[in-house]
Amino acid sequence: MKTYIQNIIIVCSVLVVHFGFSQKVPNLEREERFVVRGVVIESDTGKPLEKVNIEINGGAYTTTNVQGEFKIEVKKNDELVVRHRDFETVYYSIRSKERIRVEVMPQRKYTSGSYISKMSSNTFNNLIDSAEVYKKTDVDKSLQFAADALKSSSSSRQNAVVYEILADIYMYWKQYDLSVTNYRISLQNVRSNAIELKLANAYMYNKNYQESLDIFNAIDITTLSNWQRTVYYEGMGNVYYLIKKYQESIAAYKEGLAIAKAHLITPKITDFNSLIAKAYETFGAVNEAKNFYQNSLSLAENENKGRALEEKVKVADFQNRAQAYDTEIQLRKQALDDIEDIEIDSMFDNTSALTSQKQKYKIGNAYALQKDFFKAIPFLKESIEEADDRADLVVKKDATRKLSEVYRDAGNLEKALLVSREYERLVDEIYIKKEQEISQAARFREDITSKQNRILSLEKDRVLSESKYQLTIARNQNQKIIIYALIVGLVLLLTTLYFMRKHIKQQRLNNNLLALKSLRSQMNPHFIFNALNSVNSFIAMNDERTANRYLSDFSMLMRAVLENSEEDFILLEKELELLRLYIKLEHFRFQDKFDYTINVGPKVKVNTFQIPPMLLQPYIENAVWHGLRYKKTKGELHIDIVQKSSEEITITIIDNGIGRQQSRALKTQNQKKYNSKGMGNVKKRVQILNEMYRDKVDVTIDDYLDKEDTGTKVVVKLRRD
């Protein structure tokens, strides 16, 4: 089976700086993860498939619901794997946030085939996708699309999706209280383990630690997928870490680590090692922390450069706190090389811990702590320059302060004073900027809260309108009963007629298939009998070597014929291979009677047209056995294939034999009966196939020359569906 994948292009917008203040949670900035949604259906019926396994290699896992729908957390370039017992496994590489449609043809029905394409979604899905696309770049647009999706929602399930998207938007913009509200509304519409986990984490970020633990403890862990169980234990560990219950935090992280190892969820194995190390360090168990940091660093290097860079920086911070400055400097210099490679494709935001200006500042700081001022100064200066270029006032301020201290400790008081004044200026500038950011954050909070209130009012208005509509329906119910009864009766009648027509059509199709099978079963013995006659003639002449060679070619032909015997159509390319082998065998016996040529036009695409198997062979057999064999001089057999248009080709079989009229005169009564049966089968096959496939094959037979040996011309036209 071939898997056809349609690549989907989504326009990526530049990430804008957002307002708000991050919480101190023991998670690093990792390669961006996002949620993709999709559906798995049967290609022929459109029926949704339930309980299909959806997995990211080495990562998340879920299954489709009763509507065939799924959603799963991924990152760019992850491989999506779709598995089920009724069809072959489908693989798809994630390129962007997209809605995916997986169409499959189950093996229990036909030869399997499947493909993935961008989902041709309705208005609701388009609005949800748009809200996802703008979530991180334009909060106003994202919220507007979500509001429009809520207006077009027609079920509780769709309401749940809208409120989940709203909560995700608020989570990204750090409006955690609004996120909690919307996750709760989503759960009121449809219960979901995935939303329960998101709600618990939203409570944690909003510092509602007890509520978060209550949600985690209420979840039935046996109902979670393996990926969700790792998310569950990571969330529990984070909450315990934040409330300073480090032993409970470590225990939760270790439970998650065991699950990740058991099910080879590689990214989570790295994450849990890093989180356990952080918890051990905070708890004061430095040796245990060091071991787990080394594990996380080693594992991250086997993932990708971004993840390895993230872990190097984290381990370098640990080495700084442990006063292992040489190791810290070595790791940060390696990190600088990685940053240079990664920033070819993307630029880190100033809020990231992975910017080169921050790493150079920390290298300079480490050298300063070692009293190596000569090496510290260049790194601090470079940090200041890069921070200035990238408008990173915080790093510029910290590096300037450290540079002033280094000059002071090195005894260069003049430069220390000069740099100190620059530091004071930067402090004032940052203070002003912070005041502006606080003011902007307040306005942003007010604006986004206003939009949330309008969205909630939309839902209330919709519910009120629906109540009025239901009341109107109740008042008119009695008047519509008769109309509904008539409609139901009409529908039943039409349904009965439809199924009767479908049954008759299916019965006709079954009869045609049975007839085709019967005709094929008659043609194969006819063909085999003629070929064995040729073998018999060689044996009669005591030509054992020739008979053996003929039998070898004949067995190859038989194998190919039998392989295609159950097919209504095969590729023209395969049919030509059979014909070449068949004509070779006939020419082997009657080489003194005729020569032959097979010409395939240069524009003919033989691998795109289909033809009934063994359709041409009887005509060629007639040309050789009843035309060319009785010719007094050596004859010629020509097969020409020409493509007249992109949808049609013409196959012409020409011989200059004695012609149909003389052939009839020479035949015995038995030969007439035998040939009539063979050619009659061909005509019946063409007639049945044209009924089934709407005139796909056209055959005409005529005299070729206006001479004594008139010859025969057979023209076969093939049309593509």
pLDDT per position as a tens digit, 702-718: 887 777 777 888 998 88
The residue among 87, 120, 153 that closes a domain is 120
- pLDDT for residue 1: 37
Collapse the DSSP code of 276 into the 3-class scheme (helix H, G, I; strand E, B; otherwise coil) and give the result.
helix
Is 599 within a domain?
Answer: yes
Contact 241, 250 (CB under 8 A): no
What DSSP element (H or E) covers 198? helix 193-205
- pLDDT for residue 204: 93
What single DSSP character describes residue 680? H
- pLDDT for residue 491: 87
**Cα 387 from Cα 10, distance rounded (Å):** 32
Residue 37 structural domain: 22-120
Give 168's contacts (C-beta < 8 A, 6+ positions apart): 35, 135, 179, 198
- pLDDT for residue 515: 54
Compute the radius of gyration of the chain from its Cα atoms.
39
Contact 593, 634 (CB under 8 A): yes
Q: Write the CATH number for 35.
A: 2.60.40.1120
- pLDDT for residue 256: 92
What DSSP element (H or E) covers 332? helix 325-342
Contact 74, 37 (CB under 8 A): no
What is the four-CA torsion angle of 49, 53, 56, 60, rounded to 10 degrees? 110
- pLDDT for residue 22: 37
Contact 201, 237 (CB under 8 A): no
- pLDDT for residue 334: 85
Residue 454 neighbours by CB distance under 10 Å: 12
Strand ranges across the sheet with 712-719: 594-600, 635-645, 648-655, 712-719, 697-703
Any idea which residue has 């939309």 for tokens?
Answer: 458
Contact 361, 398 (CB under 8 A): yes
- Phi, then psi, of 78 in degrees rounded to 5: -65, 155
Give 454's contacts (C-beta < 8 A, 6+ positions apart): 147
Is 232 within a domain?
Answer: no
Is 100 within a domain?
Answer: yes
What DSSP element (H or E) covers 7? none
- pLDDT for residue 231: 92
Low-confidence residues of the chain: pLDDT under 70: 1-32, 58, 106-122, 343-348, 458-476, 478, 503, 505-531, 534-535, 537-538, 541-543, 565-566, 667-680, 693-695, 721
Comparing CA positions, the residue from 280, 284, 360, 349 lying closest to residue 316 is 360
Q: Write the CATH number for 519.
A: 3.30.565.10
The residues with which 54 forms a beta bridge, in sequence order, are 62, 82
Is 55 within a domain?
Answer: yes
Is 636 within a domain?
Answer: yes
- pLDDT for residue 108: 47
Residue 672 neighbours by CB distance under 10 Å: 11
Is 186 within a domain?
Answer: no
The residues with which 252 forms a beta bridge, in sequence order, are none
Any idea which residue has 């200066």 for tokens?
Answer: 381
**Cα 180 from Cα 203, distance rounded (Å):** 6
Collapse the DSSP code of 36 into the 3-class scheme (helix H, G, I; strand E, B; otherwise coil) and give the result.
strand
Amino acid residing at 583: I
Classify residue 321 as exposed, middle or buried by CB count within 10 Å of its CB (0-12, 13-18, 19+).
exposed
Is 243 within a domain?
Answer: no
User: β-pairing, 79-84 with 648-655?
Assistant: unpaired
Collapse the DSSP code of 599 into the 3-class scheme (helix H, G, I; strand E, B; otherwise coil) and give the result.
strand
What single DSSP character describes residue 6? -
**Cα–Cα distance list, 402 to 92, 324, 361, 544 (Å):** 50, 19, 8, 100
Is 267 within a domain?
Answer: no
Comparing CA positions, the residue from 411, 326, 419 lying closest to residue 367 is 326
The residue among 120, 144, 169 that closes a domain is 120
Polymer length of the chain: 721
**Cα–Cα distance list, 367 to 356, 361, 370, 545, 555 (Å):** 17, 10, 5, 91, 83
- pLDDT for residue 253: 92
The residue among 120, 146, 169 that closes a domain is 120
Residue 466 neighbours by CB distance under 10 Å: 10
The two tokens of residue 521 are: 């079963």
Contacts 24+ apart (CB under 8 A), 689-692: 689/516, 689/568, 689/569, 689/612, 691/512, 692/509, 692/512, 692/568
Contact 355, 348 (CB under 8 A): yes
Q: Count of alpha carbons within 13 Å of 346, Cβ hemisphere only? A: 14
Strand ranges across the sheet with 69-75: 3-5, 113-118, 99-105, 33-42, 69-75
Comparing CA positions, the residue from 256, 245, 323, 236 lying closest to residue 279 is 245
**How many folded domains does the chain comprise?**
2
- pLDDT for residue 467: 56
The residues with which 33 forms a beta bridge, in sequence order, are 75
What DSSP element (H or E) covers 571? strand 570-571
**C-alpha triplet 405, 411, 415: angle, nearest 5°:** 65
